[in-house]
Structure 1
Amino acid sequence: MFKRIPTSMPFDARDYAKLRRGTAAVEFAICLPVIALMFMGSIEAASMIFLKEALTVGSYEGARTAAKYDSETDDVVAKVEAMLEIRNVSGAVISVSPADVSSAERGDQITVTVSIPCNANSLVPLQFFNDQLITVQSIMVRE
């Protein structure tokens, strides 16, 4: 069977277990902040990817609206704002070129640009993407 280690030895298995528990606690204390930072960074990166995709969809839908023959600039801005509101995106700056979409002739290019500061839509308080600006542009030809 198992041989019992006498307790009179200077370093027995119980002492080794105590040392191992202490080592595990130190390893945990060192690794936990690194793991937490990586976790929060990945959440923030995924949030910024979602934010850029939301801007892309909003810009595309705005350009589609602007390309229609009977559209106006207010319709384009309203469409982009509606698309961003669905995705809970706030603080976007929308610009349309030419400024008056209704004056564009058939075959003219219409550009819809949507920009947003990352600060306004950050999920994690650490602000990994602090003071960054995401800009998306869509260009379509007027019908």
Structure 2
Amino acid sequence: MAPPPKTKRSRRGAAVVEFAVCLPLVVLLMLGMIELGRGVMVQHTMQEAAQAGCRVYSARDTTIDQAEAVISEAMTRAGISNYAVTYDPPTKAAMNVHLAPVTVSISVAYADVAWVTPNYLMGASVDGRCILPADVD
């Protein structure tokens, strides 16, 4: 049997060096995918909460407190706090035209919902919004 070629012996530590170079990139990609998934999940949750709140807010014989309760329940179940809700029109009394658009918007700072908080997204926010027609007389 012939001895192994010398090139095999000279590449002995190559796998360790390649692993050391590639590992940080792979970890960075994995953390980025996790953070992107979290952002999409939070945005979808806020969209659903805004839709549920808008459905209640735009209906006749409901109050803004009922809409806020629906939104609060959805956001609490998702573990999201420190969010802001805006209504357009801002009061039920201002909602006086049948089928006029009613908007509910929810916003939260990205730093409040991030799992792996990157510094480059500190000023960003995640928003959810829904527009439905008003059901008034």
TM tier relative to shorter chain: 0.7 to 0.9
Partner of 1:87: 78
2:44, 2:128 within 8 Å by CA — same for their partners in 1? no
Distance 1:65 1:110, change over 3 A: same
The one of 107, 110, 113 aligned to 1:118? 110
How many residues align? The count is 134
Is 1:59 paired with 2:50? yes
Note the residue ranges of structure 1 that are not aligned, 5 or more in a row.
Answer: 6-12
Please list, as runs of the form range in 1=range in 2, the aligned pairs for 1:1-143 lying within 5 A after superposition. Answer: 3-5=1-3, 13=4, 16-105=7-96, 106-127=98-119, 129-143=121-135
Distance in 1 between residues matched to 2:28 and 2:81, nearest whole Å: 26
Q: Which has the larger radius of gyration?
A: 1
> Which has the higher relative contact order, 1 or 2, with Cα contacts under 8 A spaced 6 or more apart?
2
The SS at the match of 2:86 is strand
**% identical aligned pairs:** 20
Runs (4+) of structure 1 exceeding 4 A deviation are 14-18
AA aligned opposite 1:124: V
Given the two structures, how large is their TM-score scaled by the length of structure 1?
0.83
Distance in 2 between residues matched to 1:14 and 1:89, nearest whole Å: 61
Given the two structures, how large is their TM-score scaled by the length of structure 2?
0.87
Distance in 2 between residues matched to 1:40 and 1:55, nearest whole Å: 22
Note the residue ranges of structure 2 that are not aligned, 5 or more in a row.
Answer: none
Partner of 1:10: none
